[in-house]
Structures are given as C-alpha cells and as structure tokens.
Structure 1
C-alpha cells in the first residue's frame, strides 16, 4: 500500500460547494503532507503506538484540518473552511 490522502467525514460534502481554485490549493497542501508523512514513517503499516497529532493548515481562501493515520498510510482532510479571502 502506498501513502495517499482523501477527504473524510463532512469535508467531502463541503468540498462539493467550495470553489475549484481553493480546492486545488487544499489538494496541493494535502499532497505535501503525504510526502512528508511517507518520509517520516517509512514502515507505516508496521507502526505501533499513537498517530501523530493532526493540525490546521491555512491556504489562501480559508483553511483545512487534517489527521495522519500511519497504519492506514493516509492523510485525511477532516474539515475544510472556505472564507473567501
């Protein structure tokens, strides 16, 4: 299995209503988070212990909240907030 990112929970519904340029910025940042997580957790499926703390990322137009789940080798965007700035 290789690392990936995806929308989780209600973020997928919120993404349907957000502008395409904002979503493109969210997706680029999510891809960066995947590359970073993959570099730090080389043996993700064999990981034991707790997952790292997620966080908030500010992008032009709003922000998103993410969580890294190492054993699933995934970065999950759990909330997106479009503010229009």
Structure 2
C-alpha cells in the first residue's frame, strides 16, 4: 500500500465553531475514493485545507510522505495536488 495523501488530526475552527475535528485520512495511490456527507458536514472545508486554500488550525497534511501542511497552494500544485 502506497499512501498518496494522508491527514493526521486535522482541525479547523472559526472562533468557537469547530468544523473539522481531528480528521485522520489515508488515501492509497491508484484507488478511487469518495468524500460524502450531508450539507454542513465540513467536506469543502476539508478539501480547502488539503489543497491549501485554508490553513488548518491544527494537524498535518502529507503528500507522498512529504509534510505539505505549511506549503502554499501553488507549491502543492507543483507537487501534483490540485482541485477541479
């Protein structure tokens, strides 16, 4: 199993509102994945943190084993992480 993307204890809060709380995610390379949930569940916030549009309040994001948590969106795109 080769991990393409991993999050560890990823959190995002806006003031007193926590919209992502300790999200652990492991996505294997070459496997299809889906992120589903009801409106307001934090799906877009999670994708925004992973792609660098939003900075997480806590936690880490790894792309191919490299910590990209503090990298800009552009730096993540250069490493192959983007969104459509």
TM-score, normalised to structure 1's length?
A: 0.28
> Higher relative CO (CA 8 A, sep ≥ 6), structure 1 or 2?
1
TM-score, normalised to structure 2's length?
A: 0.28
Q: Please identify which structure carries the higher strand content.
A: 2
Pick the structure with greater CA Rg: 1
Q: Please identify which structure carries the higher helix content.
A: 1
